[in-house]
Structure formats: C-alpha cells, structure tokens
Structure 1
C-alpha cells in the first residue's frame, strides 16, 4: 500500500519522541525509501527518503545522540538504501512504460484494421474522418465509423459500443461487417440498421462471444446517414448524439422526431422508426457525425466541450481533414490533452448536386 512507508516513518517519530522509548528505531527508517521504491515511483522514493532523513535528524537531536556510531551508521544505511531504491524505482517505471507503449501500439493496430479512413471524395461529398483514443492506459474503445458510396447514395454510420477492450472491438467488427454488407443490398435505411442490430444479437447469443459485462449490460448507440442525389440527408438514429448541420454559418443538431433506444435495448420499447427522417442538405452545407466522447469532454472545471460554438467558429473554410484536425486541437486545449473517452468523427461537405459516380469507381479510388 502506498501509505505504508509514511506510516512507518510516523511510528518511528512517535516512538523516538516518547520520553521512555523502548526500542532503537533508527534501522526501521531504511524501510521507508525501500518500500516507497516499490509503490510510489521515483518521485515518491525521493520524498520518502527526504522524510526519513528529516526524522533521523530530529530524533538524533531530541535524544542527544550526535557523535555516536549508531547515528552515523543509520545515516549511511539510509543513504545507500535511498539511492538503490531510486535507481530501482526508475528502472521499474521505464520497463512498465515500455510494456504499456507496446500494448498501446498493438491495440491501435488492431483498431486500425477494423476502422479504415474515409475516402476524401464520395460522389458529391468531400469527406474526412478522425478517431482518437482516450489517454487512459491501453484500453481499446468501442467507437465505430464508416462511409460507403452505393447505388442508393453515400451511406455513413457512426456508433459507440458500451465498454472497452477486446469484447468492444469484436462488437465494432460485427456491426461494421453487417453495415458494409447491407448498404449495398438494402434500399431501406431502417433495414440497414436492423441488419446491424441482428448481427449483434447473433454474436451475443454465441457462448463466450463477449465478456460477461457485455452480455448483461451491453448496447450500441448508432446513427446511419444517407446522402442521395437529392439535396437532402436521411437519418436513422438509435440512441446516438444527433449530428450537427452547418448551414450558412449556423450549426444546428438534427434531432430525431421519435427517440429510439440503442441497439440491444429494443425490447424496452414497442415503437421503432419505420422510415428514415429527412433534412435539407444543400451545396455549401457541412455535416458532422460524432460520438459522445466529443460532447462529453470536460475541462478541469468540469465544463463540457462546446461543440456547436467550435464548429461555427471554424465555419466551412477548411477542408474536412483540416477541419477535423482543428477540432482535435480545440478538444486538446479544452481537456488539457487528457481525453477521458474515445472520439470518432466523420465530416462531409456537399459541394454540388451532380450525379454520383458508379460505386465501384469511387471505392476503387
């Protein structure tokens, strides 16, 4: 326990300052930096060594022990143990950091296999994507996104699987696999969402497919958007934060008319959307799809990130990749480079209403 070195130091101080102390406690002080090296790291070891040294000086002065061999032997032992503890603690910290960095690289590589970058051009759209991992250890998040050009138009998905780790990554892979397959064959956008939900239900039904916490509490928020040839965007929202539409310098959330539960919680309601909701999406407009890690990012004062204001401030000037990078920098400034949750975003601009190129040509490019 981290407090043990300080408890030992306090016990030594109390015993030594007792008028009739019953034991010579000087050697016990060497345990203070030694234990701190194991539990508190290099800085904690240094602080514990300084504390032990200060207590040695105080007790030697109080007991009038200066000039005795015991005092100088105690100081020498304390110095040797402190130096050895600091070196050992530093080496342990560096080794743990290397191991953590390696695990993070493996986790990021695994996630990049599942999440591929969005093409810069999709029919009448310019597009960009961004995925940021939270700075909390090596946990792999459950954020997902994809954009595909089909014969029905450009179809996009953004979602967030509850939980972390490999079970969340597996759920992401299942949902994206169902989406990538269904978007090319299902003309009904609601049915595309239903295919994703069905795929997740099938996977959960397999014994040992997910962790126990996912089996009992798991759900996935998801938003599917479709941009056809017409100047509109169609949305199916299942418990996900509404996208932002930037139109003539003003950003507005596209709120669903009928709130629907996330995937995996369909049994809680009786009415689900039967058709997508349609909103104007004209040339010059900008649409931002994102996960809740963006709007729930907090600063040190506990204030949420003001996404609408940030989007309006940046406007439609920067291209989608540059826009998302600027948004990334704004998030870093707000949180002090300490994101508490993963972030995934897709940004698309509608710059014309010309017929889309064939799906095979766009996907090949």
Structure 2
C-alpha cells in the first residue's frame, strides 16, 4: 500500500492544472463578468510549472491563454483593459512557470548524477562482503542518514587472510563527504594490514597510525576488529565501539565486553593504552552481529532505544541475508522515520564447513 501513495500524489499533481482551469471557467460563466474570475486562469500554468516539464507547462499556458481569450470575449472584457490585463497575467505566469520547470529539470539531472556517483563510491568503498569466508557465512546491511547520498561514515569489511578471517566494523565521527573520506582511509589501511600483520593487535596499531596521520583535531573513529579461525574462538579488539552481540545455539544472547575500554582510533596521541584483545567462544551454529551505534541508539516515537538483544530471535532464518534483512526492517519500523545516524550491521555465522588451515 505504501508504494501506491507516491503514484496517487503524482496523478493528482498532473491533473491539478487542468482541473483548476476548468473550475475557474465554470465559476466565471456561472458568476458572470462582474466577479472577474478570468485572471485566475493563470493558476493552471503556475501549477504546471511546479510539477511538469517545460514543454507541458508551455502547452498548458497556451491552453490557458486561449481560455482567457474565450472567457474575455464571453464576458465582454475586451471593451476595456481588463481582458488585455488578464492575457498579460496568463502570459507572464506561463513564462515564469516555463523558467521554473527548466531550472527544476536541471536540478533533477544534477541530483541524478550525484546519486549515480554516490552509488559508484558505495560500491568502491564498501565492497560486497563474501557470502562465505573460511568457516563463516556473512551478510551486511547499511543505511545512510544522509538523504539521497546512500553513503555515510559507517564502514565494514571482511578479509580472508593467511592468519584467519579478519573483520572490521567502524563509525567515523561526523557525516557527509568528510566522513566518507575518513572511512576510505580506514578501510584501505585495514585491507592491507589484515594480510600483512600476523596478529590482530598489529592490525590495530597499523590502523591507529594511518588514522592519526590523516585526521586533524579531535576527529576519531570508533571500531571493533575481529578475527575468526578454526579454533572455535573469536578474538576482538575494541576501539570505543559498541560490544558485539553473540547469539548462542540455544538462542541466548551475550554482549562480551573488553577487559578495559580504549580510546577510538585517532585519539591514541592523547595518551592511554591501546585495546587489549579478548577471546570469546564461537562454535558452529552460533552467530556474531557487529553493528554501529546507529542501531542501538535508534529511538521510537516514545524515545525508547532499539532493544537489539530482545530482537535476536529475528536472526533465525537459515539464510543469513534474509535474517539480517528481517532485523533491518524491524529497526526501520522501530525508528518510524528517517534514520538520524548511519546504521551498519555485519552478521557472521559459524557454519564450520569448508577447508581448514
């Protein structure tokens, strides 16, 4: 039903100029020349310029001008100046409507170009994650808070390295193109370090150095890194990011937290120790959901946060992508409106199939 509303609105706006001119003509004929409704015929091209192309606006303007002449002759307005004034009004509004339609068309073309560029940037920056990587199945969901851009400051990646499956989910401070640029820096450094560094701490240190070089002032990136091998464990490294959600085989939910919280990436120069890796049991049949705070901080109409742990049962679908889509749809229903922050989710399922090390 929701898909029918835009079509109905578009149909109403399309026919509105014609209906308005018809109503003005009928009322003018019924009321007589003393009332002076003829100049209101110019509402037709005025409305046409708001919703139609310039050709259609010009055509409706021509119809309005003919109608104006006909009503003027019927009312005897051309015996004085009133008829010519009404014609001038219709012609002027038609010209303005055509100009508005031309400018709107140019803006729509520019917006379409921006959307296309954003989609290309999305595919380059946030590449599709592999459906399977080692013992894992993966699925991802991303919703940008920037209208029309379809891209923002949240980031994710899954890399099958010689040292295990390495994953990152992060959240760049801020929004828009500046956040996208920072996300590109983080992802580029992670993709390289994930292959080169023998342990997860080394990957994190490479990221910290890369981000510190690129960011200025107090900007930062919260992130969580994960490494999964064939030993039925997941290793996490948390840089001030929300704790992962682990869904056990019996349906129970756990949010394993780091032994000590560390500063986000980019703030290492302010002192404090880096994050300590911590291990969590992760066996076949279990799931790990990595996400950004745009998920847990989404509020409903009453101001309540999204209860992620209570909605873990939505991940029961045997297909990882379908399960994550069900969770995303529930999140959208909870927020009941456009998101106020980027929201990224990365679901990892330990299926245990494939070739071991």
| TM-score normalised to structure 2 length | 0.70
Superposition CA RMSD, Å? 3.3
CA distance in structure 1 between the aligned counterparts of 2:336 and 2:236, rounded to whole angstroms: 34
Structure 1 unpaired stretches of 5+: 1-29, 43-67, 205-214, 359-365
CA distance in structure 2 between the aligned counterparts of 1:263 and 1:179, rounded to whole angstroms: 12
Report the CA distance shift for 1:356/1:259 in structure 2 as closer, same or farther (over 3 A): farther
Confirm whether residue 252 of structure 1 aligns to residue 254 of structure 2: yes
* Superposition deviation, residue 139 in structure 1: 7.5
For 2:37, the equivalent position in structure 1 comes to none
| TM-score normalised to structure 1 length | 0.68
For 1:332, the equivalent position in structure 2 comes to 332
Q: Which moved more, 1:160-169 or 1:229-238?
A: 160-169
CA contact (8 A) 1:140 1:164 kept: no
CA distance in structure 2 between the aligned counterparts of 1:90 and 1:308, rounded to whole angstroms: 50
Residues 91-145 of structure 1: per-residue CA shift (max 9 Å, x gap):
4334323311210220221131122111111111111122333352437412211
Aligned length: 290
CA distance in structure 2 between the aligned counterparts of 1:182 and 1:356, rounded to whole angstroms: 24
CA distance in structure 1 between the aligned counterparts of 2:336 and 2:132, rounded to whole angstroms: 33
* Partner residue of 2:213 out of 188, 198, 202: 202
Report the CA distance shift for 1:75/1:119 in structure 2 as closer, same or farther (over 3 A): same
* Superposition deviation, residue 325 in structure 1: 1.9
* Superposition deviation, residue 295 in structure 1: 2.1
Residues 183-234 of structure 1: per-residue CA shift (max 9 Å, x gap):
2232321221111111122234xxxxxxxxxx22311111001112222211
CA distance in structure 1 between the aligned counterparts of 2:93 and 2:306, rounded to whole angstroms: 45
Residues 298-339 of structure 1: per-residue CA shift (max 9 Å, x gap):
344444333223322x13323211122222322333334622
For 1:178, the equivalent position in structure 2 comes to 189
For 1:142, the equivalent position in structure 2 comes to 153
Confirm whether residue 348 of structure 1 aligns to residue 348 of structure 2: yes
CA contact (8 A) 1:153 1:356 kept: no
Structure 2 unpaired stretches of 5+: 1-39, 52-78
For 2:108, the equivalent position in structure 1 comes to 97
What is the DSSP-based 3-state SS (H/G/I as helix, E as strand, rest coil) of the residue aligned with 2:266? coil
What are the residue-to-residue correspondences of 1:39-50 with 2, within 5 Å? none
**Greater relative contact order, per chain length (Cα 8 Å cut-off, separation 6+):** 1
CA contact (8 A) 1:142 1:163 kept: yes
CA distance in structure 1 between the aligned counterparts of 2:318 and 2:349, rounded to whole angstroms: 11
Q: Which moved more, 1:192-201 or 1:259-268?
A: 259-268
What is the DSSP-based 3-state SS (H/G/I as helix, E as strand, rest coil) of the residue aligned with 1:315? helix
What are the residue-to-residue correspondences of 1:121-270 with 2, within 5 Å? 121-138=132-149, 140-204=151-215, 215-247=216-248, 248-270=250-272
CA distance in structure 2 between the aligned counterparts of 1:105 and 1:336, rounded to whole angstroms: 27
What is the DSSP-based 3-state SS (H/G/I as helix, E as strand, rest coil) of the residue aligned with 1:126? strand
Report the CA distance shift for 1:190/1:294 in structure 2 as closer, same or farther (over 3 A): same
CA contact (8 A) 1:286 1:316 kept: no
* Superposition deviation, residue 250 in structure 1: 2.6
